[in-house]
Structure 1
Amino acid sequence: MCYDNDAKPPVHAAPITGTSTSDIRLTSADGTVFAACEARPDDVRGPGVVILPDLRGLHDFYKQLAVRLAEQGHPAIAIDYYGTTATDDERGEDFPFMEHVSKISRETIQDDIMAAADRLGRPAVALGFCAGGRNAFLASAPRFGLAGVIGFYGAPGIVGPYGPGPTQHAAELGAPILGLFGGADEKITGEQVSEFGAALTEAGVAHELITYPGAPHGFFDATAAGHEDACADAWQRVLTFLKDKG
Structure 2
Amino acid sequence: MCHSTDSRPPAPPIKGRAAAQEPLKLTAADGNTFLAYRAEPAVPNGRGVVILPDVRGLHPFYRELAVRFAEAGFRAVAIDYFGRTAGTDDRGDDFDYMPHVSQLTADQVRTDVGEAVTDLAKTGPVFTVGFCLGGAHSWRLAAEGNGLAGGIGFYGALRAVGDPPPVPGAPLLLLRAGADTASTPEQFAAYTAALDRAGTEHETHIYEGAPHSFFDRSFSEWAAACEDAWRRIMSFTERHSSS
TM over 0.5: yes
C-alpha contact 1:16 1:73 (8 A) present in aligned 2? no
Q: Deviations over 1:181-201 (max 9, x none)?
A: 111012222222222222212
Distance 1:214 1:197 in 2: 21
Q: What corresponds to 2:186 in structure 1?
A: 191
Distance 2:3 2:40 in 1: 24
- Secondary structure, in 3 states, of the residue corresponding to 2:83? coil
Q: What corresponds to 2:155 in structure 1?
A: 153
TM-superposed deviation, 1:142: 4.8
Moved more, 147-156 or 137-146: 137-146
Report % sequence identity: 44
Q: Deviations over 1:140-177 (max 9, x none)?
A: 14541100000111123xx2xx5x52xx2241451000
Q: Deviations over 1:26-63 (max 9, x none)?
A: 11110111110000002211310000011110010000
- Secondary structure, in 3 states, of the residue corresponding to 1:20? strand
TM-superposed deviation, 1:80: 0.5
Superposition pairs for residues 1-246 of structure 1, below 5 Å?
A: 2=2, 6-11=6-11, 14-15=14-15, 17-121=17-121, 122-156=124-158, 159=159, 162=160, 165=162, 168-221=163-216, 223-246=218-241
C-alpha contact 1:2 1:130 (8 A) present in aligned 2? yes
Moved more, 141-150 or 212-221: 141-150
Distance 1:104 1:193 in 2: 23
RMSD: 2.1
Moved more, 207-216 or 191-200: 191-200
Structure richer in helix, relative to its length: 2
Pair 171,27 (structure 1): closer, same or farther in 2 beyond 3 Å = same
TM-superposed deviation, 1:15: 4.8
Q: TM-score, normalised by structure 2?
A: 0.90
Q: Deviations over 1:40-97 (max 9, x none)?
A: 0022113100000111100100000000000000000000111121144333321011
Distance 2:167 2:54 in 1: 23
